[in-house]
């Protein structure tokens, strides 16, 4: 109990005044003896005990009246009244949903801010003097018990938790942590309340979430468990759900299609302005009107004239949920790939062979995306291959073992290999190479003559990168309707070839029979290998007569085999930022989307084939475009600069803010778990504490009661004694 005027308490000795008056009043009588004294003394002795009790009662009433009058003048309040009255200690475990959706602004406050306000109110209701305890568990990228113990200290930590994380929240881990915390807070869990402050997002609160077990554990411990929906009643939101590139790698001057996916997650119509930027420079902008729950695709063609890794980012005008209004992707723009074509040209008087066809298709000038160089197969070794990105064996004949070993090392290090079959290259010629390339279950057949009923190509897997051009029904016949009078099929044993992928097959139209594979590819180390049995070759097929089909096939196939970065360029937020580089890095710097430089990075680990793993961050904390700058140390001692943007994206599930239905929650939550709305069940307080109750009026009423009681009692006693 606190007092507004504590100086008045110095008057407490005045409480003794009624006692002193009582004692003095007894001493003012003079003793006089007379003849009837004996009879009077006998009467006094009979009534002495009753009179004494009556006097004591009057003294108590007068004393209490003075005491409570002094206390009333000191103006007490009820702040520490529970301490005076006494109660059992209790505890509160608060679980804060810190997922991206909790940052949604609705009705003037974010769901996360509302959760913090409710948590602060709960903590203010606890009293450290009564040995109350509290704990706060934050369910962000990972579950973390941020504070535990004294409620006031926990509340001070709570004030530092300003924003939710731009990711999904680990609510399952937080619930398990709550069960462990209950055991730490006290021996009697029945006086512990566990409150989950969340927006009840349907994508999280469902039967597949695994929440049943931890909730049941908390209930079994005897805790009072409740879930409070802190989300707004209306949750409009438009977000970017994807940005996809038609090709992740592009040659400077060529074009790429950027498919941007938008979605209105609200129930009402929304207008949104979208802007596409390349390296922070706007290159396209458009306004869209999206109906309730409506998706929208925006297709933009880009043709960069500058080589290097380019950061593409789409941004929306910010709405109630800012975190999903932007998304990024990385486009690798190169000056072209260096291609070695191993084989020999035909004599002028002879029919053109596979080498001639490949050379004609790839020799398109200085600015062509593929720049070929011819070299006889005997001169192909590991040192020569070090200068190239791609190798084409254009019906080159027998591959010696030493050459096969050099080619396999080239592929494992990240190079691309295309084996174009023809009359000179069969199983015997490729035996050494296929063994070095790990092509178990793959064999090359002998040429099949199908002059009377020519075979045609059939697409086995339309998602094969080399066949993307032919997904369009307008261009598909340029590949599938070309007759093959002679062909050399590829035989694949499905029981052995676990790593081989078939993209094309030969199909004899008259019998509609599978006549062997025409395109098989597989991954080896950091590189890719493809065997093409439908190479352009006059006399075998008519592919040279239809360059509109053959050229896209060869180019797309070689682009799919081209060397790729040894690391992904897109990461989900919260994941580890780790890169595999071909050479050791030095002077590494990493900047976040805001341009801040992060220090203390670059943990290195040596890998096979001279590669190095660069560990940058255990958990990337925010979405957007991050920028890596480092220098790669080459074997000759020189250094090359690597400037690499990295895209960090949020989970699209967090954009859908719909709350779970009560009926769906009943399917997996225990019956004793209470689900409520804080606007209905709780009175939200301001940041300042609520003022304590003033007890002055109550004490004055007590003083009045004591005075009235003393007056009535004295009047009654005097009247009875005078009778």
Q: What is the pLDDT of residues 153-182, one digit of tens each?
A: 999 999 889 899 999 999 999 999 999 999
Between 5-9, 100-104, 243-247, 404-408, the lowest mean confidence (pLDDT) is in 5-9
Please name the helix (run of DSSP H) or strand (run of DSSP E) that holds residue 138, with its range, or none. strand 133-139
Q: Has residue 685 got a pLDDT over 50?
A: no
Let me know the angle formed at the C-alpha of 596 by 595 and 602, rounded to the nearest 5 degrees.
Answer: 110
pLDDT bucket at 36, cuts 50 / 70 / 90: low
User: At the top level of CATH, which class does the domain 337-561 belong to?
Assistant: alpha beta
pLDDT value of residue 83: 44
User: What average pLDDT does the segment 73-96 reach?
Assistant: 72
pLDDT digits (tens, 9 = 90+) for 589-626: 999 999 999 865 568 888 876 788 899 998 999 999 99
Are the beta carbons of 489 and 515 closer than 8 angstroms? Answer: yes
pLDDT of residue 413: 85
Q: Which two tokens stand for residue 542?
A: 């008519």
Grade residue 27 by pLDDT with cuts at 50, 70 and 90: low
User: Which of 326-340, 398-412, 497-511 has the least mean pLDDT?
Assistant: 497-511
- Residue 537 above 90 pLDDT? yes
| Domain assignments of the chain as residue spans, ordered by start | 86-234+658-681, 238-334, 337-561, 578-637
pTM: 0.73
Instruction: Tell which phi-psi region holds residue 604, choosing left (phi > 0), alpha (psi between -120 and 50) or beta.
Output: beta
554 vs 603, higher pLDDT? 554
Supply 66's token pair: 């003075």
pLDDT of residue 75: 76
> Tens digit of pLDDT for each residue in 483-500?
999 999 999 998 888 899
* Residue 82 reports pLDDT greater than 80: no
pLDDT band at 683 (very low <50, low <70, confident <90, very high): very low
Residues contacting residue 10 through CB under 8 Å, at least 6 positions apart? none
pLDDT digits (tens, 9 = 90+) for 188-229: 666 899 999 999 999 999 999 999 999 999 999 999 999 999
The residues, ordered by sequence, that sit 6+ positions from 479 with a Cβ below 8 Å of its Cβ are 457, 459, 467, 470, 549, 553
Q: What is the pLDDT of residue 680?
A: 55
How far apart CA 7 and CA 191 sit, in angstroms, is: 39
The angle subtended at Cα 349 by Cα 346 and Cα 352, nearest 5°, is 40
Class of 86-234+658-681 per CATH? alpha beta
- pLDDT over 70 (residue 427): yes
86-234+658-681 and 238-334 agree in CATH topology: no
- Of residues 647 and 66, which shows the higher confidence score? 647
Report the CATH fold assignment for 238-334: Immunoglobulin-like (2.60.40)
């Amino acid at each position: 109990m606190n007092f507004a005027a504590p100086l008045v308490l110095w008057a407490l000795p005045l409480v003794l005044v009624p006692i002193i008056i009582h004692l003095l009043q007894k001493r003012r009588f003079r003793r006089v003896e007379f003849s009837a004294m004996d009879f009077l003394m006998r009467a006094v002795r009979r009534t002495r005990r009753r009179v004494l009790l009556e006097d004591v009662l009057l003294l108590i009433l007068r004393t209490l009246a003075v005491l409570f009058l002094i206390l009333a003048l000191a103006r007490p309040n009820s702040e520490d009244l529970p301490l005076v009255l006494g109660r059992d200690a209790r505890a509160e475990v608060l679980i804060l949903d810190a997922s991206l959706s909790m940052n949604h602004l609705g009705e003037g406050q974010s769901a996360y801010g509302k959760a913090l306000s409710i948590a602060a109110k709960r903590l203010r209701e606890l009293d450290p003097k009564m040995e109350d305890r509290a704990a706060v568990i934050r369910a962000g990228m990972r579950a973390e018990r941020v504070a535990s113990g004294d409620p006031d200290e926990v509340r001070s930590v709570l004030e530092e938790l300003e924003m939710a994380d731009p990711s999904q929240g680990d609510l399952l881990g937080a619930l398990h942590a709550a069960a462990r915390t209950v055991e730490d807070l006290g021996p009697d869990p029945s006086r512990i309340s566990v409150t989950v402050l969340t927006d009840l997002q349907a994508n999280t609160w469902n039967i597949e979430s695994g929440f049943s077990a931890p909730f049941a554990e908390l209930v079994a411990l005897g805790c009072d468990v409740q879930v409070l929906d802190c989300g707004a009643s209306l949750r409009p939101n438009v977000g970017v759900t994807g940005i996809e590139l038609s090709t992740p790698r592009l040659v400077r001057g060529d074009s790429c299609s950027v498919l941007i996916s938008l979605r209105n997650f609200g129930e009402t119509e929304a207008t949104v302005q979208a802007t596409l930027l390349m390296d922070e420079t706007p290159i396209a902008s458009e306004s869209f009107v999206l109906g309730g729950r409506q998706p929208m695709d925006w297709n933009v063609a880009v043709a960069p004239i500058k080589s290097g890794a380019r950061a593409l980012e789409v941004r929306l005008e910010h709405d109630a949920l800012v975190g999903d209004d932007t998304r990024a992707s990385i486009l690798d723009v190169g000056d072209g790939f260096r291609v070695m074509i191993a084989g020999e040209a035909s004599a002028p008087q002879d029919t053109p062979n596979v080498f001639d066809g490949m050379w004609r298709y790839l020799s398109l000038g200085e600015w062509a995306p593929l720049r070929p160089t011819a070299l006889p197969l005997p001169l192909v070794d590991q040192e020569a291959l070090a200068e190239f990105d791609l190798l084409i064996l254009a019906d080159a004949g027998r591959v010696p073992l030493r050459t096969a070993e050099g080619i396999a090392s080239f592929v494992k290090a990240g190079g691309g290999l295309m084996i174009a079959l023809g009359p000179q290259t069969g199983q015997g010629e490729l035996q050494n190479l296929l063994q070095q390339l790990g092509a178990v279950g793959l064999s090359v057949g002998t040429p099949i003559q199908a002059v009377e009923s020519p075979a045609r190509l059939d697409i086995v897997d339309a998602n094969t990168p080399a066949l993307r051009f032919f997904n369009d029904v307008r261009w598909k016949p340029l590949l599938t309707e070309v007759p093959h009078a002679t062909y050399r099929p590829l035989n694949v044993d499905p029981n052995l070839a676990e790593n081989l992928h078939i993209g094309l097959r030969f199909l004899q139209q008259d019998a509609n029979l599978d006549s062997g594979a025409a395109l098989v590819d597989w991954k080896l180390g950091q590189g890719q290998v493809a065997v093409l049995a439908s190479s352009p070759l006059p006399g075998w097929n008519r592919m040279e007569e239809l360059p509109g089909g053959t050229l896209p096939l060869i180019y797309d196939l070689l682009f799919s085999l081209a060397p790729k970065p040894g690391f992904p360029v897109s990461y989900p937020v919260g994941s580890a930022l780790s890169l595999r580089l071909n050479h050791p890095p030095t002077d590494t710097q990493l900047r976040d989307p805001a341009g801040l430089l992060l220090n203390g990075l670059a943990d290195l680990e040596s890998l096979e084939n001279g590669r190095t793993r660069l560990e940058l961050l255990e958990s990337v904390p925010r979405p957007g475009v991050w920028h890596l700058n480092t220098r790669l140390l080459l074997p000759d001692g020189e250094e090359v600069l690597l400037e690499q943007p990295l895209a960090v994206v949020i989970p699209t599930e967090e954009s859908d803010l719909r709350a779970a239905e009560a009926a769906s929650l009943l399917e997996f939550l225990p019956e004793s778990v209470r689900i409520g709305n804080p606007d209905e069940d709780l009175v939200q307080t301001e940041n300042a504490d609520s003022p304590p109750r003033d007890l002055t009026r109550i004490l004055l009423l007590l003083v009045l009661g004591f005075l009235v009681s003393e007056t009535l009692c004295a009047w009654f006693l005097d009247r009875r004694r005078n009778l």
